[in-house]
A and B are shown apart, each in its own frame.
Chain A
Amino acid sequence: LAKTTQPISMDSYEGQEVNITCSHNNIATNDYITWYQQFPSQGPRFIIQGYKTKVTNEVASLFIPADRKSSTLSLPRVSLSDTAVYYCLVGDGGSQGNLIFGKGTKLSVKP
C-alpha cells in the first residue's frame, strides 16, 4: 500500500473553507484514495473516496490531479464540530479493510 504524507496539523476559523493536501507519490494504478475523520474517543469515520478528478458528497469534495500523486480534501465552511484528525489513505478500492494509517492531520477549528 502506498505511503501518504500529510501536514501534522492545521488551524482554521469557523465558516472558512479548509483544504488538506495529501501526497502519495507511489500510488498504484488500482489504488483509490480514501479520507477518514476521527473524533476523540471514536473510531474513524469514512468521509469520501475517489480515483481521479473530482468527487463531491454532502460532506466534502476530493480533488485529484491527473498524475494522482496527491489529493486535496476540501471541507466547505467548517464549524467547531469539524475539529478532528483527518486521515488520507490509498489502497485497492476493493479491499478497504486492511488499512495502513499515516499520522493524519489534526484540524483545529476556532470560533
Chain B
Amino acid sequence: SAVISQKPSRDICQRGTSLTIQCQVDSQVTMMFWYRQQPGQSLTLIATANQGSEATYESGFVIDKFPISRPNLTFSTLTVSNMSPEDSSIYLCSVDRGKGAFFGQGTRLTVV
C-alpha cells in the first residue's frame, strides 16, 4: 500500500483566485496522477506528472488552468488557477503501485 497525504483537505475560495494543492507520497514513485471528481460524478484524469519533465494533460485540461509541479519523486502540486464556481470539485492525486492505484483523500474545493 501507499500513504498519500493531500493538503488542504478542503477549502472555500473566491472566484478569480488560485489554489495550490499538495500531494506527498511516503515513497518514491515515477508517475503521479491528478484527478477531478465533480459533484455526484465519477473521476476524470486531469494530467500525469513525471519528475523532471512537463506534465501530460488529458483532453479538456490545459497547463495554464492547471499548472503542475513535480520537484521530486515523492511530491507534486496541482494549482487550480483563476477559479470559477465550475471548478468546485474534489481533486485527488494517485500513484500506481504495480497492482492497482492508490489515491489520496482528496481536496474538496468550493469556489464562491
**Which residues of A are at the interface with B, using a C-beta cutoff of 8 A?**
34, 36, 41-46, 49, 87, 93-104
Contacts and interface: CB of A to CB of B under 8 A. Distances in A.
A97 B92 contact: no
A43 B98 CA distance: 18
Given A43-B92, A49-B100, A96-B99, A103 B42 contact: yes
A44 B43 contact: yes
B46 to A, nearest CB: 10
A93 B103 CA distance: 17
Nearest to B104: A43
B42 A43 contact: no
Contacts of A96: 96-101
A97 B58 CA distance: 13
Contact of A101 (B31, B32, B42, B90): B42
B43 A97 contact: no
B70 interface: no
B25 to A, nearest CB: 12
A36 B43 CA distance: 12
B53 to A, nearest CB: 15
A93 B100 CA distance: 8
Contacts of A94: 98
Given A93-B99, A102-B42, 8 more contacts: A41-B105, A43-B104, A46-B100, A94-B98, A96-B98, A97-B33, A97-B94, A99-B33
